[in-house]
Structure 1
Amino acid sequence: MHFLSTLLENYISDNSQDEPDILKELTRETHLKVIQPRMLTGHFQGRVLSLLSKIVRPKNILEIGTYTGYSAICLAEGLQKGGTLHTIDVNAELFDIQRKYFDKSGYGTHIKQHIGNALNIIPQLDTTFDLVFIDAEKKEYLNYLDVVLPKTKTGTILLSDNVLWSGKVIEALDPKDKTTKILLEYNNTLKVHPKLETVLLPVRDGLTLSRVK
């Protein structure tokens, strides 16, 4: 499902903050060398993440799902001086391209890469996070929420990506489609969770903004 016309998407991008050159370079290399480049956060959503991070001014950020590092760089733009961003991905083959662009961006010393299963890594992090971005395996979203919440505090902002799932969340559910089923449950959980205040934003493929009470 296409939510906005290409003309409108281009207009939105053209009237938002320009994409930093380092991210244009990362986008180009990702398209040339990495499979599924559509997984990139992209210009418009990247600027949304950057601005939200600058509003929050987090000391500690957690990102679940690094891919080639585009969203991590966007989020790092809002870090407090001396702040840290922990980013987790299961694909060790992407480590080097991530590190290359983290260092070129100027945020390299503030970004800690973790390779492995986020559900195993997060409980081991002795950190309380001010900002969390979930953008990894959709079937694990409910489990990510369970391990993330103990690492938050009142005022922590939780961002969840791809919650519209190309419009499948409003279509008749295929009984075999476990991913959409879990996302439907996840979206409802965020809405009714007693510890969260939530609004679902129609940004790209859906970006939910939740605040820990």
Structure 2
Amino acid sequence: MDTEEFLPSVTASFAEAVGPEADAVVEEMDARADREGFPTVGPAVGGWLRLLARAVDAERVFEFGSGYGYSAYWMAPALPPDGELVLTEFDEDELADAREYLERGGYADRAVFEAGDALATVEGYRGPFDLVLLDHEKERYAEAFEAVREKVPVGGVVCADNAMTAGPIEFDALRRLVGGAEDADDVDTTDATRGIADYLETVRADPAFETTLLPLGEGLSVSIRVE
């Protein structure tokens, strides 16, 4: 499903115009995404991630799935120089590119680059993490949340990208699953769609978190720890 069905392109473009201005490195990363068809959150969501990091006075951030560092680059300016931004990525070439982009932007001093499985990586880190971004395998979002929830303090935030759509996500099926349709158990859909539905059900049912949805990009779920 095209994201145009969720948010008119003129509105998305206006959100980008109003948000933080992209620097030359972000513009290069955006051009790469367009050229290669690489999925990133895009400038509008990137601006919101930076704003959320500032709003919670983030000192430590953990990413599940970093690609070549696009989301991390947007959030990095919100962290203090002695902060910690942990990037995780299976593809070592992409992680090397992320390092280069963050070095060029002057933010490598607060970045840690972890190659491999993010779920295995996070087990080696103590909390707290003020902001967590889930943007890896959709089938593992709920598992990632359970792995990190105790490391998020009251006032901290867990964000999940692709909460509405992405290549393998079927929005009509997702809406039926999350909306509790009578035939939800019989919905024939993708594993990624069910993964997003399971995640949203998990965070919405957790009394320690309050969750809402930001309908920009491909949908950003935002959950703040309230107790």
TM-score, length basis structure 2:
0.85
Residues 56, 78 of structure 1: 8 Å contact kept: no
Q: Distance in 2 between matches of 1:30 and 1:187?
A: 27
Residues 41, 161 of structure 2: 8 Å contact kept: no
Aligned to 2:181: none
| Residue identity matched to 1:4 | L
Task: Show structure 1 runs of 4+ deviating over 3 A.
Answer: 29-32, 171-174
2:113 match: secondary structure: strand
Q: Distance in 2 between matches of 1:176 and 1:184?
A: 11
Aligned to 1:197: 210
| Range with greater deviation from structure 2 (187-196 or 140-149) | 187-196
Q: After TM superposition, list the pairs within 5 Å mapping 1:40-79 onto structure 2.
A: 40-79=40-79
Aligned to 2:219: 206
Cα deviation 1:150-179 (Å, max 9, x = unaligned): 222222111111111253422687524221
Q: Distance in 2 between matches of 1:9 and 1:128?
A: 33
Residues 129, 156 of structure 1: 8 Å contact kept: yes
Aligned to 1:17: 20
Q: Distance in 1 between matches of 2:81 and 2:57?
A: 9
Cα deviation 1:88-144 (Å, max 9, x = unaligned): 111112122111101011111110011111111111113321111111110100110
Q: Distance in 2 between matches of 1:179 and 1:29?
A: 25
The CA RMSD over aligned residues, in Å, is 1.9
Q: Distance in 1 between matches of 2:10 and 2:31?
A: 22
Residues 53, 77 of structure 1: 8 Å contact kept: no
Unmatched runs of 5 consecutive residues or more in structure 1: none
Aligned to 1:6: 9
Report deviation, 1:25: 1.6
Aligned residues: percent identity?
A: 25
Highest RCO, 1 vs 2 (Cα 8 Å, sep ≥ 6): 2
Q: Distance in 1 between matches of 2:203 and 2:176?
A: 20
Unmatched runs of 5 consecutive residues or more in structure 2: 178-183
Report deviation, 1:82: 0.9
Aligned residues: 210
